[in-house]
Amino acid sequence: MESEVLFLNILNNLKGKDFLTLADFSTEEILALLDLAIELKAGKGPQKPLAGKTLGMIFQKSSTRTRVSFEVGMLQLGGHPLFLSNNDIQLGRGETIYDTAKVLSRYVDAIMIRAHGHEQVEELAKHADIPVINGLTDTYHPCQALADLQTILEHKGRLKGLKVAYIGDGNNVAHSLMIGCAKVGIDVAIATPAGYEPDAKIVERAKLIAQAHGSSVVVTNDPVEAAKNADVLYTDVWASMGQEAEQEKRVKDFAGYQIDSQLCSHAKPDFIFLHCLPAHRGEEVSAEVIDGPNSVIFDEAENRLHAQKAIMVACLS
């Protein structure tokens, strides 16, 4: 009973809070969100807790998983999602972020935005009078990281003391994964080609967080070093949205960073494979790995729905 009261108190403290990066949340808050996500996935908890609520969804970047999971999640919670593409609203025609934030605050109960620059999302949150959820920026992807942690917890039964190895581009997914893992006591190793390392300031921040939680963050150019004794292997596409012109160069630069059976042999035998999707089989991961018995990518994709439902419930109800 005492733990249930603590759980509810933690969630109550999140009401009205923005969800921009996991660095803004305590370990206890992240664990409470994960517990809530798992409860919602199991069909437990209040029915339709967001009845009468509306979520405005701004998309500067197109999406499959983000759009569908937020729309379906809001509907399942009893609320109403409102899709706002960059071409459909005045923000895409020069209206200021300040004005957009103030106007939408009068219409909807929360805003989810999938944008390019993280500073745009921060400015939107600064001026909005309602919670703002970061659906993705070029710098962070916290919703994905929360779903990743949920998937790891479900398949491994714990978080603290595990090792996650991320092989590939030091991008927004790597940034949020580092921070999320550090917050819950997971050791994380990031392996990238030279010149593709994650942002140094974010790495330093993640290392400080990890130090406070008894874990570690390592950045290396050696994929074998990163994969050694890993409980989780993770990768993302080598050329993210907006980097298509660099595809040919990146394929050459990332040679040797594919997660294949040989690299997997350095991880623990019961490792799980994660990928935020979409995937390019034969590039960042071989077909035998992504479609093999250790792959849990579709559990991970499904958990975007449940993790985001937990975020919306905590921030709105």
DSSP secondary structure letters along 114-173: E-S-HHHHHHHHHH-SS-EEEEE-SS--HHHHHHHHHHHHHHHS--TT-EEEEES--SHH
Residue list, annotated binding site for carbamoyl phosphate: 63-66, 90, 114, 141-144, 276-277, 304
Q: Given phi > 0 = left and psi -120 to 50 = alpha, else beta, which region is 232?
A: beta
The pairing of strands 163-167 and 232-235 is parallel
Q: Domains (ranges, CATH) in the chain?
A: 1-141+304-316 (3.40.50.1370), 143-300 (3.40.50.1370)
Reported as a pLDDT band with limits 50, 70 and 90, residue 246 is confident
Q: Which of 62-66, 134-138, 198-202 has the weakest average pLDDT?
A: 62-66
What pLDDT is stored for residue 9 in this prediction?
A: 87
pLDDT at 248 over 60: yes
Euclidean distance between CA atoms 256 and 28, whole angstroms: 38
Rounded Cα gap, residues 220 and 223, in angstroms: 7
Mean pLDDT over 38-65 rounds to 94
Catalytic-residue membership of 281: no
Q: Which among 60, 144, 258, 308 is annotated as catalytic? A: 144
The pLDDT, as a whole number, for residue 213 is: 96
Residues 6+ apart with CB under 8 A from 293: none
Q: Looking at residues 73-93, what average pLDDT do you find?
A: 90
pTM of the entire predicted model:
0.96
Is 236 considered catalytic here?
yes
Of these residues, 109, 148, 231, 236, which one is catalytic? 236
Residue 181: active-site member: no
The reported pLDDT for the residue numbered 1 is: 53
Q: Is 304 a catalytic residue?
A: yes
Question: Token digits for 90?
Answer: 């005045």
- 208 band by pLDDT with thresholds 50, 70 and 90: very high
